[in-house]
Amino acid sequence: MKLHEYQAKQVFADAGLPVPDSKLAASVDEVVEAAENVGYPVAIKAQVQVGGRGKAGGIELVDDEEEAREAADRILGMDLKGLHVDRVLVEAAVDFVNELYVGVTMDRNEGKPVAMVSTKGGVDIESVAEETPEAISRVHVDPSFGMHPFQARKAVYDAGVERDVAMDVASVLTTLYQLWDDKDSTDIEVNPVMITSDREVVCADAVMNIDDDALFRHADLQEMEEEGDSSQDDLEAKADEYGFDYVRLSGNTGIIGNGAGLVMTTLDLVDYYGGEPANFLDIGGGAKASRVANALDMVFSDENVDSVVFNIFGGITRGDEVAKGINEALESFEEIPKPVVVRLAGTNAEEGMEILNTDLVTVEKTLEDAVQRAVEYADTEADK
């Protein structure tokens, strides 16, 4: 579960972290009223769960009512990286002189949580980690004992944070770790932590993701999940409805498989053969017509998709049954909008390949051939 910025900042404020004064708004008039209450200048920030909102036009700084109305009119209702913006956070602008990154996540290689600090805040931290990893200080924490004060100080000083604000930044890191632990978070970060000219430390952004399997322990967070549903990606909402494991990506080759490992392998091969995956979609066990139709409906609904590859392994569900399900699902469409490539393996795979309606799909014997054909189709469709 991903919290929206305004929700994460509510959690942060309740924990005593310094966040700017802000109000949520859903209309132009509400934005103006909120800005007057907060006090100009303010930042108007789209509340959708994507990175790079500022570069995409989803964050604007305004100095008066006229600018606030114009910015609110532009941002509310806009499509931001595939997500509809129906709410904005109107937040007091911060006059900063420096930006930091502070976060906590799980280091799966070490099997421990890791606290991170960097003086390269305000930019994509993944890019920093890839290009200049030495710019991020890391301290691993034993979850049995929690974060000791000296560990927070070490992370801050190793990052090169200026001494006059180091203790305040260490306090932010300590609180973030405590929230990460108490709330069953998977990731929590502030990017940026802003340092003002008065040497105050302000959490200007907020990211907090929660382990779905632990939500039953957090009634307050469950309420936030329901509250935040209005701006959920339509495809992700469909995935929840259908019971699929789904992640939307930025490519144009749609991927459907039964089993997370199978889908991940297909993603890797699409990339290997020069394509770009459009999604991760695991339909799970069984491949009845209704389930296959729902999966196709989801993938076809993604305007970025130019082709689809099915990678199905027949285990308990036989290959011939899978093939019948695919045929029935495709026949339910008046027109198949994008080319579909199918690869079957496992129990009764050969029988299934013979059953598949080749007027509706392209059948390939190997996964490599299926992926290459799907990538070719995607390239051809994209050039039209």
161 phi, psi to nearest 5 deg: -65, 140
Biggest distance spanned by C-alpha atoms of the chain: 74
DSSP SS3 for 14 = helix
* Token pair of 296 as six digits: 């196709």
Residue of 6, 101, 177, 242 with catalytic role: 101
Binding site residue list for Mg(2+): 191, 205
Q: In whole angstroms, how large is the CA radius of gyration of the chain?
A: 24
Sign of CA dihedral 272, 278, 284, 285: negative
Please list, in sequence order, all residues whose beta carbon lies within 8 angstroms of the beta carbon of residue 303, skipping any fewer than 6 positions away. Answer: none
Distance of alpha carbon 278 from alpha carbon 270, whole angstroms: 10
Residue of 5, 60, 189, 364 with catalytic role: 189
Cis peptide upstream of residue 192 (ω within 30 degrees of 0): yes
189 catalytic? Reply is yes
Please say whether the beta carbons of 253 and 277 come within 8 A. yes
Nearest-5° Cα angle at 75, 72 to 78: 140
Distance of alpha carbon 176 from alpha carbon 322, whole angstroms: 47
Q: What strands, in cross-sheet order, belong to the sheet with 362-363? A: 245-248, 279-282, 253-257, 307-314, 340-346, 362-363
- DSSP secondary structure of 189-258: EEEEEEEETT--EEE---EEEE-GGGGGG-HHHHHHHHHGGGGS-HHHHHHHHHT-EEEE-SSSEEEEES
- Show the 3-state SS of 116-143: EEECCCCCCHHHHHHHCHHHEEEEECCC
Binding site residue list for substrate: 258, 315-317
246 catalytic? Reply is no
Cis peptide upstream of residue 20 (ω within 30 degrees of 0): no
Binding site residue list: 45, 52-54, 91, 94, 99, 191, 205, 258, 315-317
Binding site residue list for ATP: 45, 52-54, 91, 94, 99
Q: In 209-348, where does DSSP find H-type helix? A: 219-227, 234-242, 260-272, 289-301, 319-331
Active-site positions read 101, 189
